[in-house]
Structure 1
């Protein structure tokens, strides 16, 4: 950097950076507490954060935290670990089958009710949480606030990506963002690890 040049962050980038740092601290604390108190979930094998493990966030009134799990586990494996054996009394606003395989970057909300019914919801992790966990974000659904959290994407570039997406429809290949002025091969190589092609 040349002498005399200053780094100027927009308000949204500054707020986003502070939020990501705060979320990183919260997630790190959750992982620490999870590892210290793993006896609460004894039956599921777990691991530390790595590309070979699924990152699954658990929310609700039964347990909260982020688990790093091996692939191939089903939702009912997780529920049994939470002592929810009667899977016939599961209710959801979505069509959720207890035998479904868990997916990377899922958020599972489990609410146990007084009458022994269990409410379950499964959705995707937020873009912010994905980035903190070193997972890419969906270029076809990310908002401007999501994009500016990606290193190398400022507010103007984020607006251009969203503008191109609105104009041409959803991206089919990541390389399409090189049609945006200012994103050449070198910059694209830095960005591609933070983005993926997903459904809207």
Structure 2
């Protein structure tokens, strides 16, 4: 049974399905792969991060020009702020 599940997951591309992009460490090109984020918004995220420090939550992305609640909700399945949230 375990082999069947593993085979099914590999066919579905499970390795990429579980790989969250960390918005605190990702570069512009990595961020641009996220839904609703192109190169322009990705550059704005990196600029905001460089000026204000690490993001404590995805909700903080509201402070980046061009990113609203709708985009943030789409990102929840694919992005993370990493372990930094534990320290704040």
TM-score range with shorter-chain normalisation? 0.7 to 0.9
Bigger relative CO (Cα 8 Å, ≥ 6 apart)? 2
Larger radius of gyration: 1
Mind listing any 5+ residue stretches in structure 2 that lack a counterpart?
none
Q: Are the equivalent residues in 2 in contact too, given 1:148–1:155 (CA < 8 A)?
A: yes
Q: Distance in 2 between matches of 1:193 and 1:133?
A: 9
From 18, 34, 37, the equivalent of 1:150 is 34
Q: Are the equivalent residues in 1 in contact too, given 2:45–2:61 (CA < 8 A)?
A: yes
Mind listing any 5+ residue stretches in structure 1 that lack a counterpart?
1-44, 50-67, 69-129
Q: How far does residue 194 in structure 1 lie from its aligned partner after superposition?
A: 1.3
- The structure richer in helix per residue is 2
- The structure richer in strand per residue is 1
Q: Distance in 2 between matches of 1:176 and 1:146?
A: 19
Deviations 1:149-175 (A, max 9, x none): 112110000000001110111111111
Alpha-carbon RMSD: 2.4
Q: How far does residue 133 in structure 1 lie from its aligned partner after superposition?
A: 2.8
